[in-house]
Structure 1
């Protein structure tokens, strides 16, 4: 069995309840986005000196996503492509939030992060099982890939 199949199967064991699954479809992408937003909020002068002054995507979130992408590539190249597309969407949405200038990106991200995690823990209470990342932190990255693999299955794309 491939490592990605093993991880997705193990992650799925604590995500059987329909309510918990629905909550995950909402909260996992929000948590992924909020983390990107938080990391993008870290002053990035050092990164911009390498990736281009004034480049809105030259930030620590982009650097982090490069490392995260390497992890996804090690599991599944097709899934990593989907995850990169989602990550790019998150970077773009972070840029949009910054351009609205209603509230700082870090503040919006913290609010989303807290609310989404409350949802996640409620979902696991309904499920009656602990979140997978309590067992192994890599499941924090497997969760988004678990959702992506369902999209791939629906579209008939092998992963």
Structure 2
């Protein structure tokens, strides 16, 4: 099993160009956000009837998927899992809020499409194919890599 640093090292190989990196810093969180929005749009009567927590932030498919996703991150790093959990909660809250005013499905589909176009444009600039082409697990590594890079402390 690879460590988180090994995943990051392999992911970084196709993310060297500064423009591609900046695009990823925007598009990867946008894709994560939009996927949670899409999952929140799936009817959740089964979950609501089973859990009966009366909380739309918890009783939806996005929350269920996040629990499974966090198990993947916990295996790699508890600290990273906590960072992802905080970001995911913010995404859930924002999606819930957006859904109160506009059609969340349409917003999520739009953000998803534009963000993926950005991703592929970034890889066109980079001249390398996306990492997930070789291993789908890189779709889960991308958000952690962005969080790691955006919030890394500068070394003196």
TM-score bracket relative to the smaller structure? over 0.9
1:88 aligns with 2:89: yes
Deviation for aligned residue 1:42: 0.4
Aligned to 2:15: 15
Deviation for aligned residue 1:50: 2.4
Structure 1 outlier segments of 4+, above 3 Å: none
Q: Is the 8 A contact 2:25 2:150 kept in 1?
A: no
Cα deviation code 1:100-139 (max 9, x no counterpart): 1x2x211110000000000000000000000000000000
Q: Is the 8 A contact 2:20 2:125 kept in 1?
A: yes
Aligned to 1:121: 120
- The 1-side partners of 2:2 and 2:152 are apart by 17
1:145 aligns with 2:125: no
Deviation for aligned residue 1:53: 5.6
Q: Where in structure 2 are the equivalents of 1:28-67 lying within 5 Å?
A: 28-52=28-52, 54-57=54-57, 58-67=59-68
- The 2-side partners of 1:145 and 1:33 are apart by 14
Deviation for aligned residue 1:51: 2.5
Deviation for aligned residue 1:155: 7.4
Which consecutive unaligned segments of at least 5 residues does structure 2 have? Answer: none
- The 1-side partners of 2:51 and 2:150 are apart by 32
- The 2-side partners of 1:122 and 1:107 are apart by 23
- The 2-side partners of 1:82 and 1:96 are apart by 21
Task: Give the aligned length.
Answer: 154
What SS does the aligned partner of 2:153 have? helix
Aligned to 1:131: 130
Which consecutive unaligned segments of at least 5 residues does structure 1 have? Answer: none
